[in-house]
């Protein structure tokens, strides 16, 4: 990739924002993969809207040139949907963590999967709340025996299974230790006409000492070329087969676009509100 082309996503971003991730964090590789994917797709910053979730992962939008929004914890998908409804021509990406998406934001995840808007969700999945000192997230427990379940440590929530159950039309998985493959998954996700989820295993080197880079390299395995991603039954069979072998599938697990009516832009508020005096409301916000 020519440096001059890739640098368009770095202008006005990296020089202004000091990267705050721990050295070795998987999110560094995710950032590079995202830049590579946007460049491959020949998208310019003005065509893309980035929504960051709260947490270490949500900082990623600071390190990319272009339009972005940083909302409340768990709200990334809701804000992304609003942006897409306001301007269907935008390429909208929600960039969030596993805690942000699968805990307080799980209701948004469920209904976005059902509604199937043309937006992409990239989950940087490390099994912990890294920003708040390493508490278990809902996806904690990969590769470890379930043991005795307690309220504070319930069984893990698998984003791939949840996405399939709730009707997502594109479900893929990647590992930040293989940035070239992550780039390929992101390109395919953005090109998909509907809701696309990419769950990227992005190790937390500070708080998750079990699911390390070496652990993921030993357990991640590509989806076989013989797999039919258009079949939901095949997707479930694939997941069960990988579970039996204590492996994690990386690649496109399910892709089956729905037939839908074209999305419509929300009404133009400027025309609807031209006779309304907004000054009293605006004064309260100043």
Whole-number Å distance between alpha carbons of 168 and 113: 4
Residue scoring higher pLDDT (35 or 150): 35
Residue range 192-219: mean pLDDT, rounded: 96
Whole-number Å distance between alpha carbons of 57 and 186: 16
What is the value of pTM for the model shown? Answer: 0.88
Percentage above 90 pLDDT, the chain = 61
Q: Is the pLDDT of residue 54 over 70?
A: yes
Which tens digits make up the pLDDT trace of 248-261?
A: 999 999 999 998 88
What are residue 93's DSSP bridge partners? 50, 120
Which tens digits make up the pLDDT trace of 171-184?
A: 999 999 999 999 99
Whole-number Å distance between alpha carbons of 74 and 61: 16
- Specify the range with the lowest mean pLDDT, choosing from 28-37, 186-195, 267-276: 267-276
Which tens digits make up the pLDDT trace of 118-142?
A: 999 999 999 988 777 768 888 888 8
Give the pLDDT band of residue 92 (cuts 50, 70, 90): very high
The residue among 10, 11, 87 whose CA lies nearest residue 264 is 87
Q: Is the dihedral of CA 10, 13, 16, 20 positive or negative?
A: negative
- Delineate the domains of the chain, giving CATH numbers in brackets: 3-283 (3.40.50.970)
Q: Is the pLDDT of residue 91 over 90?
A: yes
């Amino acid at each position: 990739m020519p440096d001059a082309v890739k640098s368009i996503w770095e202008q006005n971003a990296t020089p202004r924002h000091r990267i705050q991730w721990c050295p070795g964090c998987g999110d560094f590789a995710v950032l590079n993969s995202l830049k590579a994917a946007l460049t491959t797709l020949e998208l310019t910053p003005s065509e893309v809207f980035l929504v960051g979730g709260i947490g270490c992962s949500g900082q990623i939008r600071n390190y990319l040139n272009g339009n972005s929004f940083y909302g409340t914890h768990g709200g990334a998908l809701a804000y992304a949907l609003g942006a897409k409804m306001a301007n269907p021509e935008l390429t909208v990406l929600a960039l969030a963590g596993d805690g942000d998406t699968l805990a307080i934001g799980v209701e948004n995840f469920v209904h976005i999967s059902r509604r199937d808007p043309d937006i992409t969700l990239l989950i940087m999945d490390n099994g912990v709340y890294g920003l708040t000192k390493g508490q278990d997230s809902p996806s904690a427990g990969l590769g470890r025996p379930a043991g005795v379940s307690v309220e504070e440590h319930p069984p893990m929530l698998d984003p791939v299974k949840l996405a399939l159950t709730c009707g997502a039309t594109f479900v893929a998985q990647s590992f930040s230790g293989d940035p070239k493959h992550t780039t390929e998954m992101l390109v395919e996700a953005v090109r998909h006409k509907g809701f696309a989820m990419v769950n990227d295993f992005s190790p937390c080197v500070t708080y998750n000492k079990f699911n390390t880079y070496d652990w993921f390299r030993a357990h991640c395995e590509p989806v076989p070329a013989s797999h039919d991603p258009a079949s939901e039954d095949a997707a479930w069979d694939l997941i069960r087969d990988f579970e039996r072998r204590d492996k994690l599938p990386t690649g496109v697990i399910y892709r089956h676009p729905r037939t839908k009516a074209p999305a419509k832009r929300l009404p133009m508020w400027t025309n609807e509100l031209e006779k309304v005096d907004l000054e009293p409301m605006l004064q309260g916000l100043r």
